[in-house]
Chain A
Amino acid sequence: MPVRHPWRWVASAVVLVLLAMLAHSFATNSNYGFGIIGGLLFTRPVLDGVLLTLGLTGAAMGIGIVLGVVLAVMRLSPNPLVSWVSWAYIWFFRGTPVLVQLFLWYQLSYLFPHLSLGIPFGPRFVTFNTNSVIAAVTAAILALGLNEGAYMAEIVRAGILSVDAGQSEAASSLGMRRLQVMRRVVLPQAMRVIVPPTGNETISMLKTTSLASTIAVIELFGAVQQIAARTYQVIPDLLVACAWYLAITTVMTIGQFYVERHFARGAQRSLPLTPFQKLRGNLAVWRIRVAGSSR
């Protein structure tokens, strides 16, 4: 007896009606300006905005991940001072809005027009001039990255705690030191728990970079706002931004699958299939069926 799912049919009908309404609105309401969107997608300012958005996302996530690992390891340190510093960091950066932090860093670049790298109260090795266009981008990267570090720290910590304590004991008993145990044994296993929420954070960061437009960073959202201010075609411009954000998110989601698969090594007896492998498998089965029935 085939199983019947009457509610699936009802739900499908509702979705179809809604889609039809949306399509009708697209077709009849010229305010969307679909004609313009295609032309705008690949214009110079939009593409520059996309590149800057990608750069901001990459840099902020890079800082966030490195910082997150350091903070998580610090948080689990047997040294109470080290652990407390990490706790305080997370407390501050998680407890204040990222938009406020963004403005704070931007303002700081005015407070400290020269940022230098060197020994405290000693000689300076490198000096950055902060008060320029670069200052806004730097402030954005710092603000987003440092804020992300606090969230990543908690994700990494959860990952570390998910690894059985027996693993660290076995590694310690071989003579590995604490950081060696972390790097060689615990973190690689923690990755299985760390990667999925990190993918989530990256996608979230992609969209959060749009806040940088508030401190005059012309990333994707900033770019379409500028175009909209000139042309008054606000909705088509916003839809252009949406299209790009969606496209990048899609690519990231696919990338995440492969990263997860990489870190699943040894966790299961066999690795999950990639969509291509599944497709090939299905095709093979289908071909056998066809061959079987034609005989």
Chain B
Amino acid sequence: MVRAEAVHKRFGPVEVLKGISLEVAAGEVMCVIGPSGSGKSTFLRCVNHLEKIDGGRLSVDGALVGYEERGGRLHELPEREVARRRSEIGMVFQHFHLFPHLTVLDNVCSGPVVVKRLARREVEEAARELLEKVGLAEKADAYPRQLSGGQQQRVAIARALAMEPKLMLFDEPTSALDPELVGDVLAVMRSLAEEGMTMLVVTHEIGFAREVGDQLVFMDGGVVVESGRPREVIASPSEERTRAFLEAVL
């Protein structure tokens, strides 16, 4: 589903991604861990073209991200096409970024209504079902600021799911939450994984990575230091940097 080959990204003179290669198969959950500033968010943002890559190849579901190959040369995709491809990828942010001027239900409906141009009536039922699924059916008419962080994050997941994405990106979805609210969000993500959603999850929740993840990637300084099956990497890391990081977070 996601294939990265030597992906490079720089901000001005600073090279943030120094050749990231990884592959996520359809239905797989890949967790990405690593110290602050190692480029995890940047990589995730590259996957749905919120950032442009400067080198290497990055493709989602067989199609290059943000570019099109014609006659052996890369052409930048028009805005319309970039947006269409983004609509197939759900993204959940550390700070939720719900639309504060819309009710919870309108937040969840916003994607299908605006992007797919479906009538509000048509999508409302599905939206309510999604809210049910994340355990917030009774909050449909509340505004985001009236919810706790954990509730907001679950609405954000429902909002992304409303577009029926084939890939979900999570950027530290529980890092901004109080410890007692983390569990609800992880439970929603776990059930999503069990339904077979392809997920790329940046997280500091080692327990979640071990139990739900199919692959674990440890990033540091813009490179993939180590990757493998989560249990093996966590139990017996082969790299010293991984060992030090795991010791610090566990």
Q: Kindly state whether residue A292 has any CB partner on chain B within 8 Å.
A: no
Q: Kindly state whether residue A189 has any CB partner on chain B within 8 Å.
A: yes
Pair A175/B163 contact, Cβ less than 8 Å = yes
Pair B115/A176 contact, Cβ less than 8 Å = yes
Complex Cα spacing A268 to B146, Å = 9
Question: Majority SS of interface residues in chain A?
Answer: helix
Question: Majority SS of interface residues in chain B?
Answer: mixed
B88 to nearest A CB, angstroms? 8
CB within 8 Å of B: which of A158-186? 164, 166-167, 169-178, 180, 184-185
Complex Cα spacing A265 to B141, Å = 13
Complex Cα spacing A268 to B143, Å = 9
Pair B114/A180 contact, Cβ less than 8 Å = yes
Which of chain B's residues has its CB closest to A263's CB? B101
Which of chain A's residues has its CB closest to B156's CB? A170
CB within 8 Å of B: which of A170-216? 170-178, 180, 184-185, 188-189
Q: Which of A167, A175, A176, A265 contacts B97, CB < 8 Å? A: A167
Pair B101/A175 contact, Cβ less than 8 Å = no
CB within 8 Å of A: which of B37-95? 48, 50, 79-80, 83-84, 86-91, 93, 95
Instruction: List B contacts of A173 (CB < 8 A).
Output: 48, 50, 86, 89-91, 160
Complex Cα spacing A184 to B110, Å = 9
Known: A180-B115, A266-B143, A269-B145. Contact between A175 and B99, CB under 8 A? no
Pair B102/A177 contact, Cβ less than 8 Å = no
Residues of chain B at interface, number, CB under 8 A: 33
Instruction: List A contacts of B50 (CB < 8 A).
Output: 169, 172-173
A61 to nearest B CB, angstroms? 23
Q: Kindly state whether residue A267 has any CB partner on chain B within 8 Å.
A: yes
Q: Kindly state whether residue B144 has any CB partner on chain A within 8 Å.
A: yes
Q: Which of A170, A172, A178, A268 contacts B99, CB < 8 Å? A: A170
Instruction: List A contacts of B83 (CB < 8 A).
Output: 172, 175-177
Complex Cα spacing A170 to B111, Å = 10
Instruction: List A contacts of B90 (CB < 8 A).
Output: 173
Pair A176/B145 contact, Cβ less than 8 Å = no
Complex Cα spacing A178 to B86, Å = 13
Pair A189/B160 contact, Cβ less than 8 Å = no
Complex Cα spacing A88 to B99, Å = 33
Pair A266/B144 contact, Cβ less than 8 Å = yes
Complex Cα spacing A247 to B145, Å = 38
Q: Kindly state whether residue B159 has any CB partner on chain A within 8 Å.
A: yes
Q: Which of A167, A175, A184, A188 contacts B86, CB < 8 Å? A: A175
Which of chain A's residues has its CB closest to B113's CB? A184
Pair B95/A176 contact, Cβ less than 8 Å = no
Pair A267/B115 contact, Cβ less than 8 Å = no
Pair B97/A169 contact, Cβ less than 8 Å = yes
Complex Cα spacing A170 to B110, Å = 11
Known: A173-B89, A174-B115, A175-B83. Contact between A266 and B100, CB under 8 A? yes
CB within 8 Å of A: which of B16-31? none
Pair A167/B145 contact, Cβ less than 8 Å = no
Lowest 10 A-B CB distances belong to which pairs? Answer: A175-B87, A170-B97, A173-B91, A174-B111, A266-B143, A166-B97, A175-B115, A266-B100, A266-B101, A177-B83
Q: List 13 A-B contacts (CB under 8 A).
A: A166-B93, A170-B97, A170-B98, A173-B50, A175-B163, A184-B114, A189-B99, A263-B101, A266-B100, A266-B144, A266-B145, A267-B100, A269-B143
